[in-house]
Amino acid sequence: MSRIRATVAEAARRLAEAGVESPDSDARLLIAHVLQVDPGELALLDIRGREISAGEWDALEDLLGRRQSREPLQHLTGVAHFRHVTLQVGPGVFTPRPETELLAGWAIEQARAAGEAPVVVDLCTGSGAIAKAIADEVPAAQVHAVELDESAHAWAARNLAGTGVDLHHGDAFTAFPDLQGAVDVVVCNPPYIPLEAWESVAVEARDHDPHLALFSGQDGLDAMRLLEAHAASLLKPGGVVGAEHADVQGESAPAVFAATGRWREVRDHRDLAGRARFLTARLAR
């Protein structure tokens, strides 16, 4: 038997030694998962003298061992939180990242500004995170999403069930020919890691996320080039596109759009850490 505060400290120590980037937070989330409580309740439970039982210790030991081997936290808990929605995640789907919430927020603002029934397309939807967030925060929007990977599509289907999102299984860069010229907002979190950057990718992503969702040619911009052409065909004149990219692509990714002459207001946006994170552009014609 052990008190919660001591358990959190021990778990965090072990995770830190294993190189986990957020050991304190992960320790609390794993313990809360084992105890089936909200993480915010742990301090109160500790004050009340709640102890970890032998069975709970066994369950926690298993989860800690897996996290120490750098299995993604969300695979262990089975959920990921994204803006105001909760997603089911696990092996076979890209785990949504907090920084992508900024791109989703931009898409939500643009959808709200587009009129009473905006048409929004989420390409490379993965778990369905962006599409679900838009449907949640802009209920009047007509949201369409597409995913190529079969396993990821299955996760998206679970997450988007009952949301009204029109989910397709197929190639993001040829999808929705029936929507050409009819879309207000295109949003995409495409693969953008250069193949040569394999060794620099975090173990959690490199060893557990689908490679289809990570890598995009030698310079990491193959998918961005396909996105530029497809977004131009889907959007209404004056419609907007937003796409996440690697922090080293703050100039090269927007340049893909600027070079074609089809876009105006091409600009890049930084995340809360000041890193280049996503580009936006408006269709000129």
Give 185-203 pLDDT, tens digit per residue.
999 998 866 555 444 445 5
Q: How far apart are CA 160 and CA 168, in angstroms?
A: 11
β-pairing verdict for 166-169 and 142-147? parallel
Q: Which of 71, 95, 92, 93 is nearest to 81 (CA)?
A: 95
φ/ψ (deg, to 5) at 142 = -95, 105
Single-letter residue type at 95: T
Query: What is the tens place of the pLDDT at every residue in 125-164?
Result: 999 999 999 999 999 999 999 999 999 999 999 999 999 9
Helix, strand, or coil here: 96? coil
3-state secondary structure (DSSP) of residue 55: helix
Say what the pLDDT of residue 101 is.
97
State the DSSP H helix or E strand holding residue 141, giving kind and residue range, or none if neither: none
Asked if pLDDT for residue 217 goes beyond 90, the answer is no
Q: Is 159 marked as a binding-site residue? A: no
**Average pLDDT value for the chain:** 88
Strands annotated E in 10-115: 51-52, 79-82, 85-88
* 268 CA to centre of own chain: 19
pLDDT tens-digit readout, 22-56? 899 999 999 999 998 888 888 888 778 888 888 99
**Dihedral (CA of 26, 28, 31, 32) sign:** negative
The predicted structure's pLDDT at residue 206: 46
Q: What residues contact 226, with CB distance under 8 A and at least 6 apart? A: 172, 173
Question: Does the annotation flag 177 for ligand binding?
Answer: no
The SS3 assignment for 46 reads: helix
Residue 81, phi then psi, degrees to nearest 5: -100, 135
What average pLDDT score do residues 57-85 get? 91
Q: Which helix (H) or strand (E) holds 242?
A: strand 235-244
Tell me the sheet residues that pair with 120: 143, 185
192 is in an annotated binding site: yes
